Amino acid sequence: MTPSMTSYQVEAFGRPLAQVLRDIPTPQGTDVVVRVGSCGVCHSDVHLHDGYFDLGNDVKLDMTRTVQPPRTLGHEIAGTVVAVGPDAQGVKVGDRRVVFPWIGCGTCSLCEAGHEHLCNSPRALGAHRDGGFASHTVVPHARYLIDYGNLAEDQACTYACSGLTAYSALKKVAPLGPKDPLLIIGAGGVGLSGIRLARQLFETPPIVVELDQSKWDMAREAGAGQIIDPKADGALKALLKSTGGVAAAIDFVGSASTFNFGFGALRKAGKLVCVGLFGGSTPVVPAMVSMKAVTVTGSYVGSLQEMQELMDIARSGVLPDLPLTTQPLSSATQALEDLRAGRIRGRTILKAAA
């Protein structure tokens, strides 16, 4: 019998993922086929499943052309190499690797500068090409496969998005000294990655803003210092009084209220890094940007070089594990629904059958 693979695909936006059985692809050229062992479920998977991102004020960013069904979602992928193309080098069958999924065209100026993740003609796995909600996936070149050493596979896969996104955002506010407080907004999967990485990159524990108090224990375990309920009376005023304003704030949520809290918490010459994609919109007063001399910048996942740097840190064993819940690959639709409904603490990992 011809070996087959299983995938769970978007065939219609917003509808349950469809189970699809087909032959395992034969790698061509520099292609590498990876048997997926673990794949994380990300908030962006929810938006891609919906077919849009909410920009607020009833404005939606249409993703139906980007994600052209049928499409297999999933971009936090770790597994084992099972086949290599005739031109593939630097990897062999049996190698255990985590996949860098943010692949560009390879020829534009952004790609040539090492910013494939920002390419205007992307080939990202799990969005523009089939990803990891499957038993197997095809990676176009071995350079996108990174050795995860002695890390557990289900932890390793999270570094491809949750960890990478947090690391790239933190690099944008470095360096920070002991008198430069850092505010991290959100203690979900990406926020927790940011907290544990911040403890390695900076001297002072980050201040964490998290509305859901059931996540506070995980934030403390990850390395948070003070934790703030943003809805508490006078929360922002008290933060400004105790710190004089933070040197940097990273918003891992991306809602109107979290943006406003982060912007309002900045001291003069502070920096707000916007990461989250929750949705919504809010006005910005240009005069306040000028008068406080603040910087507002976006951060979208991260580069291959940053992924390699991050994996060097992770392989050293200094980072605490990310809280995980594992589910079988067949539960992909339910995992998306749980994440959409806010029922996930930490990260959900889909495990393909061996």
Please give the pLDDT value at position 2. 55
Candidates 145, 160, 142; CA nearest to 27 is 142
CATH topology of domain 4-160+302-351: Quinone Oxidoreductase; Chain A, domain 1 (3.90.180)
Q: Is the pLDDT of residue 354 over 80?
A: no
Whether the CB-CB separation of 267 and 249 falls below 8 Å is answered with: no
Q: What is the mean pLDDT of residues 76-87?
A: 98
Residue 67: the pLDDT is 87
Angle at 283 between CA 280 and CA 285, to 5 degrees: 155
Tell me the mean pLDDT in the region 76-91: 97
For the chain, state the CA radius of gyration. 20
pLDDT greater than 60 at residue 234? yes
pLDDT at 242: 97
Residue 222, SS3 per DSSP: helix
Domain boundaries, the chain: 4-160+302-351, 164-298
DSSP state of 26: P
Q: Is the pLDDT of residue 1 over 60?
A: no
pLDDT at 257 over 80: yes
**3-state SS, residue 129:** strand
Q: Give me the mean pLDDT over the 171-188 stretch.
A: 97
Find the helix or strand (DSSP H, E) in which 151 lies: none
pLDDT tens digit string along 259-306? 999 999 999 999 999 999 888 889 999 999 999 999 999 999 999 999
Instruction: Please state the pTM of the whole predicted model.
Output: 0.95
Name the amino acid, one letter, at 36.
Answer: V
Q: Give pLDDT, residue 70.
A: 95
Distance CA 102, CA 195 (A): 23
In whole numbers, what is the pLDDT of the chain averaged over residues? 95
Q: Is 17 helix (H, G, I), strand (E, B) or coil?
A: coil
* Distances 36 to 67, 69, 118, 167, 325 between C-alpha atoms, Å: 21, 21, 25, 24, 17
Length reported for the chain = 354
Measured CA to CA, the distance from residue 277 to residue 263 in angstroms comes to 16
Please state, in angstroms and rounded to a whole number, the distance separating the CA atoms of residues 320 and 325: 16
Tokens coding 346: 């930490």
8 Å CB contact between 114 and 279: no
Scan for tokens 């995992």, then name that residue: 335
The CATH number of the structural domain formed by 164-298 is 3.40.50.720
